Amino acid sequence: MNIQAKNLNKNYIQEKGPDLEVLKDVNLEIPLGQKIALAGPSGAGKSTLIHILGLMDRPTSGKVFIDGIDCFLMDDNYLCNMRKKSIGFLFQFHYLLPDFTVLENVLIPVWENKISKKSYALEILNRVGLYSKINCLPNELSGGQQQRVALARSLINNPKIIFADEPTGNLDRTIGVEIENLLFEFSTNLETTLVLVTHNQELAFRTDRVINIVDGRMVV
């Protein structure tokens, strides 16, 4: 899917003092299938940008077009459906549900179709090396395994765009690299657009384009 952001601004209202201006006139276009790394210092606005591009939050002003659709003209219900249908998310924290098994966690985004999606869930879990763990609970897994489940969950709806916000920031370097490699492989094979926030220079180097965000602005 093609993503276009036009004149995005995001302000947070503060109890004391002026509004906090977090994104300042961000303009960007990500063609279908492109892999983008978002880099920049902590607090620069990377997560805020990914939340808006991923339709989880609305900008204060500006527009996001996904495949030409002016998304923020739509109501929350429409945005929610668009996310469910087309977008996969992977965060630094796995957000797995503690009382659900590995297999059930992967099926959460497609719960209404969980029976028909089960074989695909098993296929992805096999691909991420967790076939033997499908009936385990999240707290029976290592941090790297938990993040592999989150990766599998982000793929269950066949997303056209994957947003990954420092997905391996909490993991040991070697384990992190394995997961990043899997993410890249899936994104390539499934021909998704990938927007990845990372501090990992090597990984950023492998993307089609690196966008630096500094103090809420894109820096070329």
Site for Mg ion contains 187 (CB under 5 A): no
Cβ-count burial of 143 within 10 angstroms (0-12 exposed, 13-18 middle, 19+ buried)?
A: middle
Q: Counting Cβ atoms within 10 Å, is residue 33 exposed (0-12), middle (13-18) or buried (19+)?
A: middle
In the complex, the smallest distance separating the C-beta of residue 21 from ligand ADP, rounded to whole angstroms, is: 9
Q: Which of 115, 95, 113 is nearest to 105 (CA)?
A: 95
Q: Which stretch binds Mg ion (CB under 5 A): 2-10, 42-50, 101-109, 151-159?
A: 42-50
Chosen from ligand ADP, Mg ion, none, partner binding at 77 (C-beta under 5 to 8 Å by type): none
Number of residues that bind Mg ion (CB under 5 A): 2
Closest distance of CB 26 from ligand ADP, Å = 12
Binding at 116: pick from Mg ion, ligand ADP, none (beta carbon under 5-8 Å per type): none
Question: Cα separation of 54 and 148, whole Å?
Answer: 21
Query: Who's near 109: CB < 8 A, 6+ residues apart?
Result: 84, 153, 156, 157
Q: Which of 95, 90, 99 is nearest to 157 (CA)?
A: 90
Q: Is 200 in the site for Mg ion (CB under 5 A)?
A: no
Residue 194 interacts with, from Mg ion, ligand ADP, none (CB under 5-8 Å by kind): none
3-state secondary structure of 10: strand
- Rounded to a whole number of angstroms, the minimum distance from the CB of residue 218 to ligand ADP is 12
Q: How many angstroms separate the CA atoms of 33 and 206, rounded?
A: 14
Binding partner of residue 80 among Mg ion, ligand ADP, none, CB cut-off 5 to 8 Å per kind: none
Provide the binding-site residues for ligand ADP, judged by CB under 6 A. Answer: 12, 20, 22, 40, 42-48
- Partner whose footprint covers residue 22, from ligand ADP, Mg ion, none (CB < 5 to 8 Å by kind): ligand ADP
The residues that touch Mg ion, with contacts defined as CB under 5 A, are: 46-47
